[in-house]
Amino acid sequence: MDAARRFDPAWNADAFTGHGLSPLFTIEAEAAADVGAREALLDRAMGPKRKRKSSEKLRRGRIPAEGLALVARAADGTLVGTVRLWNVTLGQDGAKALLLGPLAVEPAMKSAGIGSALMKQAVARAASLGHAAILLVGDPDYYVRFGFSAEKTGDLSMPGPFEKHRFLALELREGALDGAAGVLSACGAILAPQRQSHFRRMKASA
């Protein structure tokens, strides 16, 4: 199979529909053992500045929303993509929602459809779990294909610097963001101290 065809997302989809091809990747739940590989992937894909983003303030020391930490694995088991969603509150005593990110893909496989597959799975799973809305900070031209826009985020803000036009949302329940206002705050479960120590060791060994 030529290289262009191997990295065509349609071919990966075909592999799941009886065409007899080995998939380039599969999407599955993140495992505890993935921490080191995930951190290394994020460093390669996003660089060290990722830890200074406003979104990081809502993730630091927290556990991702239940069932909403996903990874993409290559056929040999290598981790080649990641996305997590986090529980947040919209303003003081506001409604609950999810914050998506980071979404990252192995740089050498950026044209393989991994990011799109992770996004579709993340949105579908969030909806099936009963969540009302997802917010993120990202490229509007990319995320519009998944239904995200800045239409309902005008009165919301992040806990730090951010670009307003990149602050996007998707309602999973119609009207979920009507009247939403204020600064997002983290409300997910706090990572236990022993797990934080384990997490730091895993990152250091990546």
pLDDT of the residue at 2: 34
pLDDT of the residue at 199: 47
* Peptide bond between residue 161 and the one before it cis (omega within 30 degrees of 0): no
Any idea which residue has 């997802």 for tokens?
A: 134
Residue 132 near residue 148 (C-beta atoms within 8 A): no
Residue 68 near residue 88 (C-beta atoms within 8 A): no
Please give the radius of gyration of the chain, using alpha carbons only, rounded to the nearest integer.
Answer: 17
Global pTM reads 0.83
CA distance 152 to 134: 11
pLDDT of the residue at 50: 78
CA distance 68 to 177: 21
> Residue 31: CB partners within 8 Å, gap ≥ 6?
71
CATH architecture of 23-205: 3-Layer(aba) Sandwich (3.40)
pLDDT of the residue at 201: 52
CA distance 55 to 151: 20
pLDDT of the residue at 143: 98
CA distance 206 to 194: 19
Residue 129, burial from CB neighbour count under 10 angstroms (0-12, 13-18, 19+): middle
**Structural domain boundaries in the chain:** 23-205
pLDDT values of the chain reduced to their tens digit, one per residue, 206 residues: 333 333 344 334 444 444 455 578 999 999 999 999 999 999 999 887 777 788 999 999 999 999 999 999 999 999 999 999 999 999 999 999 999 999 999 999 988 999 999 999 999 999 999 999 999 999 999 999 999 999 999 999 999 999 999 999 999 999 999 999 999 999 999 988 655 545 455 444 44
pLDDT of the residue at 36: 94
**102-144: pLDDT as tens digits:** 999 999 998 899 999 999 999 999 999 999 999 999 999 999 9
Which is nearest to 173 in space by CA: 116, 121, 126?
126
- Whole-number Cα distances in Å, 33 to 29, 36, 190, 194, 198: 11, 7, 19, 15, 11
pLDDT of the residue at 47: 84
3-state secondary structure of 164: helix
